[in-house]
Structure 1
């Protein structure tokens, strides 16, 4: 079963500000989340501590924070941020 991937307005705006090459990499990596949970072995995905459904996806220097709702089979992309000491 394929999951539906939804972008929040905030995440779409953040992704739109990335350089074109990075933007393509992020969109491609997020698109692979449709195969949840099969994509866990392929991509660098970790569950965030103290969060039940929040995960991070590493795409180069950028981090994609997303929420997974297995009951609705939806992956919701919450943020796209450059990795720094304030990312998490």
Structure 2
């Protein structure tokens, strides 16, 4: 059974600011993981979340395996995504 994908408002705002090519690539990759997300995600040690690497971008994801929900919390460039994450998203 596929997971439902939910997009946080901040993640959608970031996608709107990106060029269309990068935004489409991120959306496609997130949609590609919905059948088996654990295979593609890496755990984050500081918080109870996961990351998905897509080129120079990182997607921070909360994975709810009980309800089968993938929540896209935050998207950012790899150079500053972790600083933004520590600041409280």
Aligned to 2:66: 71
Aligned to 1:21: 21
Aligned to 1:10: 10
Aligned to 1:56: 51
Aligned to 2:42: 46
Structure 1 segments (4+ residues) deviating >3 Å = none
In the alignment, is the contact (CA less than 8 A) between 1:56 and 1:65 conserved in 2? yes
In structure 1, list runs of 5 or more residues that go unmatched: none
- TM-score of the two chains, using structure 1 as the length reference: 0.84
Alignment coverage as a number of residue pairs:
82
In the alignment, is the contact (CA less than 8 A) between 1:7 and 1:78 conserved in 2? yes
Give the structure with the higher percent helix: 2
CA distance in 1, matches of 2:36, 2:77: 24
In structure 2, list runs of 5 or more residues that go unmatched: 83-89
Aligned-pair RMSD on alpha carbons? 1.4
Aligned to 1:33: 33
Cα distance, 1:50 vs. partner?
3.1
